[in-house]
A and B are shown apart, each in its own frame.
Chain A
C-alpha cells in the first residue's frame, strides 16, 4: 500500500511539473512568455496582411516577440479574444462593424462621429485603445460584372431594383443575419429584395460573380479582385452601409506594460490608402503570395526598416 502511495506521489509530481513547464511558454513558439505580444487576426486577407505588418514592425522596433492568433472567424470572435486576454492586439477593427455588431448600437452614418463614439466606448467600457486609422476604410459594397453593368446601365444600388426579383446574390453570412445594417435593414432602406440571397464565405464571392454563378454579390470595397476581375462597384446612393474606418486596437494593459508599442501603431497611421490596400490584397489573392511576405515587402519598400518615422 505504501508503495502505491509513493508511486502516486511521483506521478503527481510529474504532472505538476509538466503543468508548471507549460505555463512558462514553449521555446520556439512564442506562446505565453512574458515579452510576447499576441496579435489577433481574422480570416480575411486584409486582416492578415496588417497583422503581419504590425508583427514585423514590433519585432524590428522593440525588443518584444510576437505571435499571431490567426484565422479567427469574425470581428466578434477576435474582439472576444482580446477581451478575454487571449490576445493583446486586434490587427484591424472596423468602426462601423464594431458599433453595430459588438456594442449593439444604432449605425452612425458620419464616419468621424462613428469613430469617436467607438473610441470612447473602447476606452471607458473595455479599457482598450482604439488607434487612429491606417488610412483606408473598408465597407460592404454591392458589385456586379462590368459587362452586366454596361448592358443594364447599373451605377447605383437603386438601379438594381428592376432586376432584383430575378437576381441571386451572394453575401457574407454574418451580414445576412445581423441587425441594423444587415439584410433586413437593407430591404427597409432600399425598398426591394432579391430573389434569393446565399450566405457565402466572403473570400469566394468575387469569383462567384465573375463566373456567373451569382448575379451580384456583396463584397469588401478594398478587395484587389474588384480590379482584376473587372467588377463594377455600385454606388451606395442611400448611404446605407456605415463607414468602416480600419484601425488597430490594443488593450491598455499591454500599452502600460510596453509603452513603446504606441509608436509602432502611430507609425502606420494614415500610411495605407484604399488603393494601396487593394494592391496588397490583390498580390495575396491573385499572385499566390503569402500575407506575411506581402507585408514584409511593403515595409521594406517604404523604408520602415531603415529609419522611417524614427525620431
Chain B
C-alpha cells in the first residue's frame, strides 16, 4: 500500500469499497433531505403566518436566529440527551438548523410581493386562499427555493458530524480515516463525496430556483 501515492490509493479504495461508499452516500443524503423536508413542512407555513402577523415575525425569526448560533456539535449533544444515539438525533438537529433559512426566506418572499398586485387580486374577487395560492406563492417561490437551497447545503455539512452519535453517513468514512494508519486516502474518500454532494445539490436547486423565478417565466412566454 505504501508504494502507491495518495491518488492511486484513492482509486484502489473506491474500486474495493465502491458499494459501501455508495450506501453511505445515499444514507448521508437521505438524512439531510429528511431534516430539510420537515423544516420545510414546518417553516413555510410558519413563514406565511408571520408575514400575515408582523408582530410575530420578530419573535419567530429571533428564536430561529438563536437556534442558529448554537454550535452544531453542542446542538447534537443536547438533542442526544433527549432522543438518544442514532439517526433520529441527527435528523432533528438538521431540522432545527434548516428552520431559519426557510422561515426567513418565506417571510421575505411574501413581504416582497407588490401590494398593488394583491389589490388587483382582491379587486378580481379572489378569496384569501386564492390570493395566497395563485398570487403570493408563485411570486415568492424562487425566494423560498433559495432558502431551501441554503438549508440543504447546511444540512449536508451537519450530517457529516452526525457520525459522533452513531448515525452513519460519509462522516463514518472520514472518522475511520483519522484512525487508520495511512488514512489520508480514506479521509479523502469520505470528504470528496461530501463536498461533491453539497456542490451538486446547490447547483440543482439553483437551477430550480431560476426556473421558478417569475422573471424567467415572463421571458419565456414573451418569446
Contact = CB atoms under 8 A, between A and B. Distances in A.
B12 interface: yes
Given A29-B31, A225-B181, A293-B17, A18 B87 contact: no
Contacts of B88: 22, 31-32
A106 interface: no
Contacts of B214: none
A10 interface: yes
Interface residues on B, range: 35 or more
A28 B30 contact: yes
Interface stretch (A81-89, A170-178, A247-255): A81-89
A201 interface: yes
Interface in B155-200: 163-164, 166, 168, 172-173, 175-176, 178-181, 185-186
A40 B38 contact: no
Given A7-B49, A288-B186, A29 B27 contact: yes
Given A43-B179, A203-B179, A71 B164 contact: yes
Interface stretch (A57-65, A126-134, A183-191, A279-287): A279-287
A67 B165 CA distance: 13
Interface string B1-42: 100000001001100110110000011001100100010011
10 contacts: A4-B53, A7-B52, A40-B166, A69-B85, A69-B86, A71-B166, A87-B85, A87-B86, A288-B186, A289-B16
Interface of A: 4, 7, 10-11, 14-15, 18, 22, 26, 28-29, 31-32, 38, 40, 43-45, 48, 67-72, 81, 84-87, 201, 203-204, 206-207, 225, 284-293
Interface of B: 1, 9, 12-13, 16-17, 19-20, 26-27, 30-31, 34, 38, 41-42, 45-46, 49, 52-53, 84-88, 91-92, 163-164, 166, 168, 172-173, 175-176, 178-181, 185-186
